[in-house]
C-alpha cells in the first residue's frame, strides 16, 4: 500500500506551473524542458499542446514530466512552432486525465487551448449559470469555465470574447492561451500568481518562473504585468490592459516557499529575499544556540541568513534524501515510524549535545515540525529551538494553492505557546508580518496599502470569494472547492 510521506504532506503546495513558446521549430521540446524546471509547482500530471498552423496536437499524462515527455515519439507527435504546457498538483479524487491541462476546445473561431495557474474563486457560481444555459462540461476544473464564457460571449472578435470572459471571473489566474491567431499570456488584475516573459532570438517564451527561461536559454524580458494581456501574433507582440487598474497583490508565499530560490520574481532574487527573511528573523527572534540547522531543502536560504545575522554557525544537521518521492510503500506497523527517515535523517555526530536552532519556511499542520524536533532529540540535541521564516499560517488559500482546511492548520487551532508544546520544542517563534515586508524592502504593512496577497497569514483576502460567501464560510466549502481546483 502506498502512503504519503508526512514531510511532503505538511507543506502548502503550489498547484500549477505553465510554460509557452511561440516561434520556434519543435516548440514542444522546449516546452518539455521548461516544464522540467517547473516540476516543483505540480508533480501529479503534465500536458503539452502544440499548433502546426493547421492542427492542434495534445499529449497529457499523469505523473512527472520525466517519463512522459522525454520520449522521442511523444515530442515528435507534437508538431508546430507554437506550444504551451502545464504541470499540476491535485488533491485526491482530482487526478483524472480529463482535468489535466492544457484544456482544449473547438470554438466557432477555431481551436482554443488554455493552461492556467491559479484558482477562480467564483467558478462554481459561473459553472451553475452556464449549465443552466445548456453548457456541457468535460472536466471538473475551474479553468473550463473560461472556455465556456469565451464560447458564449456576444462579442465578435476572439480577443474581445476572451476579455469579456475574464471580466466575469474572480480570483487568481495566470494564463497561456493558444488559438490559430496566436498566443495570449495574461495575469489577473491583482497579479496574484506569477508569469514572466522571455526572449530567445525571435522566439517569445512565457513561464511561471524565470528558472524555466534559464533552462531553454531564453533571456528574461519582464514580468507580464497584473491585468495585462500580451498577444504574440506572427512574431509581433502587443500589450493590452483592459481592466481598471488596481494595486497589485502578488502572492507573498512565492518568496517564502513556492518559487525556486534561483528564480527572480518582480525583479527580486527569491534566494536573496529568503536570506533577508532569515536575517530579519534573527533580529526579531534571537536565541542562544550552538548551531543553526535548516530543515532541507526549503529552510536553507533563511537559515543562512539567520546564521549570518546571529553569528551562530550554520550546519547541515539534517540530511535529505533526494531519491524519495511523495509516496512510498507503507511498511508494517513495527517499522512504520521509520518511514519519515527515508527522506530526512539527523547528522548525529553534529547534533549530539548541541543547542540547535532549526529553521523552516512555515508550519502547516505541524506534523513535520513534531517529527523533526523528535529527530533532533533522538540524535542527542541538548535544546531544540524552532524559528519559522513566515508568520503563522492561520487561513486557507483560495488562489491555486493546496492548503488544508482551516481546522487542520496548527496556527488556527493553537497560540504560539500551544504550538510549542505540540511540537515539543524548547521554544518556537515566527517572523512578524511587518518583518516579512521589511525583508522584501517594503515599509511596515500597517503603513501601506498591502503590496502582496498575505491572506493565509492575515485573513485579508484581496478578492471577493463569491463561491465561499454564497455557500457558507470558506472552511465549510473546502471540500467543494477542491472538487474543482485546476
Ligand atoms: S492566500 Fe497565501 S498562499 Fe494564497 S495567494 Fe495569498 S499569500 Fe499566496
In this prediction, residues 236-250 reach a mean pLDDT of: 95
Q: Which residue has the higher pLDDT, 96 or 476?
A: 96
Report the nearest atom of ligand 1 relative to the CA of 254: 8
Pair 234, 51: CB distance under 8 Å: no
How many other β-carbons are positioned within 10 Å of the β-carbon of residue 134? 8
pLDDT averaged over every residue in the chain:
90
The pLDDT, as a whole number, for residue 76 is 95
206 Cα–ligand 1 center, Å: 22
Report the nearest atom of ligand 1 relative to the CA of 396: 1
The pLDDT, as a whole number, for residue 339 is 56
Exposure class string for 368-380: b at 16+ Cβ within 10 A, else e: bbbbbbbbbbebe
Report the nearest atom of ligand 1 relative to the CA of 172: 5
- Residue owning grid cell 525556486: 260
The pLDDT, as a whole number, for residue 335 is 52
The pLDDT, as a whole number, for residue 480 is 43
Instruction: Please name every residue paired with 119 in a beta bridge, in sequence order, or none if there are none.
Output: 172
Burial (Cβ within 10 Å: 0-12, 13-18, ≥19) of residue 120: buried
Pair 461, 249: CB distance under 8 Å: no
Residue nearest to atom 5 of ligand 1 (CA): 251
Give the residue, out of 392, 454, 458, 462, with the most ligand 1 atoms within 8 A of its beta carbon, to mutate for a pocket test.
454
Ligand 1 binding pocket (C-beta < 6 A) is: 12, 192, 251-253, 397, 399, 401, 453-456
How would residue 331 be classed by pLDDT, with cut points 50, 70 and 90? Answer: very low
In this prediction, residues 442-449 reach a mean pLDDT of: 83
417 Cα–ligand 1 center, Å: 25
Ranking 159-173, 287-301, 389-403, 470-484 by mean pLDDT, the lowest is 470-484
Look up residue 299 and give its three cell numbers: 529552510
Report the nearest atom of ligand 1 relative to the CA of 457: 2
Does the annotation mark 397 as catalytic?
Answer: no
217-234 pLDDT, tens digit per residue, is: 999 999 999 999 999 998
Residue nearest to atom 2 of ligand 1 (CA): 456
Q: How far apart are CA 288 and CA 48, in angstroms?
A: 51
Report the nearest atom of ligand 1 relative to the CA of 462: 6
The conformation of residue 243, written as its DSSP 8-state character, comes to: S
Residue nearest to atom 4 of ligand 1 (CA): 397
59 Cα–ligand 1 center, Å: 30
Residue nearest to atom 8 of ligand 1 (CA): 251
Omega prior to 297 cis, within 30 of 0: yes
The pLDDT, as a whole number, for residue 235 is 83
397 Cα–ligand 1 center, Å: 5
How would residue 337 be classed by pLDDT, with cut points 50, 70 and 90? Answer: low
Give the residue, out of 399, 402, 465, with the most ligand 1 atoms within 8 A of its beta carbon, to mutate for a pocket test.
399
Omega prior to 16 cis, within 30 of 0: no
371-385 pLDDT, tens digit per residue, is: 999 999 999 999 999
Pair 400, 298: CB distance under 8 Å: no
What is the value of pTM for the model shown?
0.91
For the cut 60, the answer to whether the pLDDT of residue 6 exceeds it is no
Q: Which residue has the higher pLDDT, 388 or 470?
A: 388
The pLDDT, as a whole number, for residue 444 is 85
61 Cα–ligand 1 center, Å: 28
385 Cα–ligand 1 center, Å: 27
In this prediction, residues 268-288 reach a mean pLDDT of: 97
112-153 pLDDT, tens digit per residue, is: 999 999 999 999 999 999 999 999 999 989 999 999 999 999
Amino acid at each position: 500500500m502506498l502512503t504519503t510521506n508526512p514531510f511532503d504532506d505538511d507543506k502548502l503546495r503550489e498547484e500549477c506551473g505553465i510554460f509557452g513558446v511561440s516561434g520556434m521549430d519543435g516548440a514542444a521540446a522546449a516546452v518539455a524542458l521548461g516544464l522540467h524546471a517547473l516540476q516543483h509547482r505540480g508533480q501529479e500530471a503534465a500536458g503539452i499542446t502544440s499548433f502546426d498552423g493547421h492542427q492542434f496536437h495534445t499529449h497529457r499524462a499523469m505523473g512527472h514530466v520525466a517519463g512522459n515527455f522525454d520520449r522521442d515519439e511523444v515530442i515528435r507527435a507534437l508538431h508546430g512552432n507554437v506550444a504551451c504546457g502545464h504541470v499540476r498538483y491535485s488533491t485526491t479524487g482530482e487526478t483524472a486525465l480529463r482535468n489535466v491541462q492544457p484544456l482544449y476546445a473547438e470554438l466557432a473561431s477555431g481551436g482554443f487551448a488554455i493552461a492556467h495557474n491559479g484558482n477562480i474563486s467564483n467558478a462554481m457560481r459561473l459553472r451553475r449559470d452556464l449549465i443552466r444555459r445548456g453548457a456541457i462540461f468535460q472536466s471538473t476544473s475551474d479553468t473550463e469555465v473560461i472556455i465556456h464564457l469565451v464560447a458564449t460571449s456576444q462579442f465578435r472578435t476572439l480577443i474581445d470574447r476572451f476579455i469579456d470572459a475574464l471580466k466575469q471571473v474572480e480570483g487568481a489566474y495566470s494564463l497561456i492561451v493558444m488559438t490559430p491567431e496566436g498566443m495570449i499570456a495574461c495575469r489577473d488584475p491583482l497579479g496574484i500568481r506569477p508569469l514572466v516573459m522571455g526572449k530567445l532570438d525571435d522566439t517569445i517564451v512565457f513561464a511561471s518562473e524565470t528558472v524555466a527561461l534559464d533552462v531553454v536559454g531564453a533571456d528574461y524580458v519582464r514580468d507580464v504585468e497584473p491585468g495585462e494581456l500580451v498577444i504574440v501574433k506572427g512574431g509581433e507582440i502587443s500589450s493590452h490592459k483592459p481592466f481598471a487598474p488596481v494595486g497589485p497583490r502578488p502572492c507573498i508565499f512565492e518568496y517564502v516557499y513556492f518559487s525556486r530560490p534561483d528564480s527572480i520574481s518582480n525583479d527580486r532574487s527569491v534566494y536573496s529575499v529568503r536570506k533577508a527573511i532569515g536575517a530579519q528573523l534573527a533580529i526579531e527572534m534571537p536565541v542562544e544556540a550552538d548551531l543553526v540547522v535548516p530543515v532541507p531543502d526549503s529552510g536553507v536560504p533563511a537559515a543562512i541568513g539567520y546564521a549570518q545575522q546571529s553569528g551562530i554557525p550554520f550546519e547541515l544537521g539534517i540530511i535529505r534524501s533526494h531519491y524519495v518521492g511523495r509516496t512510498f510503500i507503507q511498511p508494517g506497523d513495527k517499522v512504520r515510524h521509520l518511514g519519515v527517515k527515508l527522506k530526512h535523517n539527523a547528522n548525529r555526530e553534529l547534533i549530539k549535545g548541541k543547542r540547535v536552532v532549526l529553521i523552516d519556511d512555515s508550519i502547516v499542520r505541524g506534523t513535520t515540525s513534531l517529527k523533526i524536533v523528535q529527530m533532533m532529540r533522538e540524535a542527542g540535541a541538548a535544546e531544540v529551538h524552532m524559528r519559522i521564516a513566515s508568520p503563522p499560517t492561520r487561513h486557507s488559500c483560495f488562489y491555486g494553492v493546496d492548503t488544508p482546511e482551516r481546522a487542520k492548520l496548527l496556527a488556527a487551532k493553537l497560540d504560539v505557546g500551544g504550538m510549542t508544546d505540540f511540537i515539543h520544542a524548547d521554544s518556537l517563534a515566527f517572523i512578524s508580518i511587518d518583518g516579512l515586508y521589511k525583508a522584501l524592502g517594503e515599509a511596515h504593512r500597517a503603513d501601506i496599502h498591502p503590496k502582496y496577497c498575505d491572506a493565509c497569514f492575515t485573513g485579508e483576502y484581496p478578492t471577493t470569494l463569491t463561491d465561499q460567501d454564497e455557500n457558507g464560510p470558506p472552511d465549510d466549502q473546502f471540500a467543494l472547492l477542491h472538487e474543482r481546483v485546476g
